[in-house]
Amino acid sequence: MTNKQTGSGPCGWVVNRGADGGVQSGVSPLPGGHPEEFACIDVEAAGFNYKDALACDAHPGVARTLPLVPGIDVAGTLRSAFEGYAAGTPVVATGNGLGESVQGGFATEVWAPPAAIIQRPESLSATAAMAMGTAGLTAILAVERLRAVIDWEYQSRIQQDDPLPWLVTGASGGVGMLAVAATALAGFQVIACTRKETLTDVLMSLGASAVQSPQEALPTDKKPLSSARYLAAIDTVGGDLLADILRVVAPGGAVGSIGNAGGVGLPTTVYPFILRGITLAGIDAAGLPSRAKRRELWSKLAVLWPLVSASFPVRQIGLQEVGDWARNMRSGHIKGRAVVLPGKKKVAGQNARN
Ligand SMILES: NC(=O)c1ccc[n+]([C@@H]2O[C@H](COP(=O)([O-])OP(=O)(O)OC[C@H]3O[C@@H](n4cnc5c(N)ncnc54)[C@H](OP(=O)(O)O)[C@@H]3O)[C@@H](O)[C@H]2O)c1
């Protein structure tokens, strides 16, 4: 089918390996073929997640098939009637192999597995939905999960006059910023932990009660346990930073492990678990939540959006800018989120960096 925006056939950001094993990528015609039950979405916008940055580099943990169009989040309209919805219905599709084992959303069209697709909340435009996307789903899931596992009975017994705050790390990233906003919306005091001091005003307006560097937010000693500073923490960084968090979470508290932007190792001890009874909860927003759960999460995102949209930095980029953005994301240089608009043309001389 001819693409309405470009006047040519369907295209997208396609990643492959050349004969020499090197990664080749760029805007090209889409790789063909998809299972019969998949539904076609005409793409209006796609969210840019850290996983997509890894897929752009053909990272084997994400790019399960090559050639691959990255893009685990997409918003658009159904090309044909699907499961009771008419052609033209606005939908979002997230996870369920998109941009990993099946072709993803950095394209003018995407064939999505039925399990990935749900109707888009009416109040969210495609761009607004993708500004949050999986990052938003993950942030809300994390807050819900931690609330469910914190030992509230113990907290009520110790009756602290000044309840300890929550901590969010990697706070300049998509998940981090939305986790700050979702934690504040849930009524908890939240410290935003970032290496980027310039984002202080943005993070405060999203609901942070303070913004601190990792050196300020976490202990510099290396004792197995350090004095308790947080009731809960949402960690998008992993590695040594996650290990440091575990040493300062209060008895009965909880930590959500979301990401690995800073490393995949976890050099810790059993002491936080056996001497403070804390819970380390894993969060997987891409594979685990059912369609019913995702509908519920999207309706919560529709409530969150008007509260964050004025301060949340969202950069709109075209397909041609995907490679630049992926590089900046992998090196931790971005702030907030990018949304890929397949109809947007690159402005000469401008690089996708904010
Ligand atoms: N579990 C799930 O379901 C799920 C869902 C979505 C994302 N994730 C994961 O969550 C993490 C964050 O995703 P995102 O989309 O928010 O990514 P992002 O926008 O690129 O944000 C990542 C942030 O991590 C921080 N960071 C700390 N050390 C870093 C390092 N060495 N390299 C790069 N960044 C570093 C940076 O924040 P500061 O500079 O502010 O410290 C950076 O902005 C990723 O690992 C992603 O794969 C998991």
Residue 6 has pLDDT above 50, yes or no: no
Ligand 1: nearest atom to the Cα of 257? 1
CA of 343 to the centre of ligand 1 (A): 27
Nearest to 100 by CA among 136, 73, 72, 75: 72
Q: What is the CATH number of domain 11-120+313-340?
A: 3.90.180.10
- Residue ranges, comma separated, of all CATH 3.90.180.10 domains in the chain are 11-120+313-340
Ligand 1: nearest atom to the Cα of 284? 3
Confidence label for 333 from pLDDT (cuts 50, 70 and 90): confident
CA of 196 to the centre of ligand 1 (A): 13
Rounded to whole angstroms, the Cα distance separating 173 from 176 reads 5
Mean pLDDT of the chain: 92
Helices (H) and strands (E) in the chain, counts: 10, 15
Mutational test site, ligand 1, from 54, 132, 144, 175, max ligand atoms within 8 Å of CB: 175
Confidence label for 288 from pLDDT (cuts 50, 70 and 90): confident
Instruction: Give the model's pLDDT for residue 5.
Output: 45
Instruction: Give the model's pLDDT for residue 25.
Output: 96
Q: Whose CA is nearest to atom 31 of ligand 1?
A: 262
pTM for the full predicted model: 0.92
Which residues are near ligand 1 (CB < 6 Å)? Answer: 49-51, 134-135, 138, 170-176, 194-196, 236-237, 258-262, 283-286, 329, 332, 334
- Residue 203 main-chain phi, psi, to 5 deg: -70, -35
Q: Which residue has the higher pLDDT, 345 or 314?
A: 314
Q: Whose CA is nearest to atom 4 of ligand 1?
A: 258
- The stretch 292-319 carries a mean pLDDT of 95
- Cα separations (Å) of 231 from 79, 150, 165, 249? 47, 8, 6, 6
Q: What confidence tens digit (pLDDT) does each residue in 243-281 have?
A: 999 999 999 999 999 999 889 999 999 999 999 999 999
* 139 contacts 204 by C-beta, under 8 angstroms: no
Q: Whose CA is nearest to atom 11 of ligand 1?
A: 259
Mutational test site, ligand 1, from 236, 315, 331, max ligand atoms within 8 Å of CB: 236
- Residue ranges, comma separated, of all CATH 3.40.50.720 domains in the chain are 134-282
Q: Whose CA is nearest to atom 29 of ligand 1?
A: 262
Mutational test site, ligand 1, from 178, 237, 327, max ligand atoms within 8 Å of CB: 237
- Under CATH, what is the fold of the domain 134-282? Rossmann fold (3.40.50)
Instruction: Give the model's pLDDT for residue 347.
Output: 52
Rounded to whole angstroms, the Cα distance separating 230 from 243 reads 14
CA of 335 to the centre of ligand 1 (A): 10
Report the interhelical angle of 174-185 vs 126-149 (nearest 10°). Answer: 60
Residue 3 has pLDDT above 80, yes or no: no
